[in-house]
Chain A
Amino acid sequence: MTVHGDAGSAVWTRRCLLALLSVLPVFRSARGDSATVEISRFEFAPAELEIPAGSTVTFVNLDLAPHTATGDAFDTGTLRKDESKEIAFPIAGEFAYLCKFHRHMTGRIAVL
């Protein structure tokens, strides 16, 4: 990696860590919590959620209509009634999302 300067090395190290985290789910969830967001009556509940980095959030759809929780960084895909999808949030940040079918349905997850 001689082509990299200090900044490049730092980026590389961070990338490696993230890559490592992403392939080590057990390690990742060991320090986080788990939370649930229910999709009911065309709303995400809770619509605003704060979780520590390394947590997982399970989105569960209780409506007859199919929904999604879709953000820039994650996507549950289509969730039919009573289907759920667990999403990991290894990195701190703000994650806004919406249902791509019903765009008035919005939510936000703050990963601390």
Chain B
Amino acid sequence: MSRTILASLALAAMMAAGCTGPANAQDSGKLNDLEVAHAAYVAGDIDIRNAHLALALSDDRAVREFAELMIRDHEAVNDAALALLKKLKAEPQDNAFSQSLLKGARDNWTKMAQLSGAAFDKSYAANELAYHQTVNKVVSEAFIPNVENAELKTLLGSALDTFQAHEKHAEKMVADIGS
């Protein structure tokens, strides 16, 4: 198993554990463009599914508004990613990093589905903040510097603007709800 894959798994494990410590974004940067596109899509899709879980389980207005924002924005970013791949006649490539992101997310959903009320809301808010912090670090420090296709680089830059706005919004949600 290559060092890159091990590092990716370690990062995903940290995310799954809800760690907010600095991920080693440098090591997740060895993916090729089509693997990056896949991982970025999966990262957005995970957050859309987090949001649907929140809409199913939370009555908190701030949580529900945030979840609706995540669905609206991540769907827009992922639609743009699919449109670009179609234009480039390229297929995103599944990879160990995407797989480890999904594994972490599935473990998290199992855990979150047991919660309700304020416990769910606090857990969702804290997880959204940690998730965006980690994803933003990977996108800005590994994905954007390493991708070769100029259009994919531009798309990731625009996606990062969106995710950074979410991170700020998540900070506010954590402050409002408490953790």
Contacts and interface: CB of A to CB of B under 8 A. Distances in A.
B72 A101 contact: yes
Interface in A95-111: 101-102, 104
Contacts of B96: none
A64 B155 CA distance: 9
Interface string B52-75: 000000000000000001001100
Interface stretch (B23-31, B100-108, B156-164): B156-164
Contact of A42 (B72, B155, B159, B165): B165
Given A42-B161, A65-B165, A101 B69 contact: yes
Interface string A35-67: 000000110000000000000000000011110
A75 to B, nearest CB: 16
Nearest to B163: A65
A80 interface: yes
Given A81-B80, A101-B69, A63 B161 contact: yes
Given A42-B165, A104-B168, A64 B72 contact: no
Contacts of A66: 72-73, 76
B77 interface: yes
Interface in B67-97: 69, 72-73, 76-77, 80
B131 to A, nearest CB: 17
For chain B, the bracket of interface size reads 10 to 19
B169 interface: yes
A66 B159 CA distance: 12
A65 B160 CA distance: 11
B165 A64 contact: no
For chain A, the bracket of interface size reads 10 to 19
B63 to A, nearest CB: 15
Given A41-B161, A101-B69, A101-B72, A64 B80 contact: yes
Contacts of B72: 65-66, 101
A65 B73 CA distance: 5
B76 A81 contact: yes
A45 B76 CA distance: 22
Contacts of B77: 64-65
B168 A65 contact: no
Given A63-B158, A66-B73, A102 B165 contact: yes
B132 to A, nearest CB: 14
Contact of A64 (B69, B158, B168, B169): B158
Nearest to B168: A104
Given A41-B161, A42-B161, A101-B69, A65 B169 contact: no
Q: Which 9 A-B pairs have the closest CB atoms?
A: A65-B73, A65-B162, A64-B158, A42-B165, A41-B161, A64-B77, A64-B80, A64-B76, A65-B76
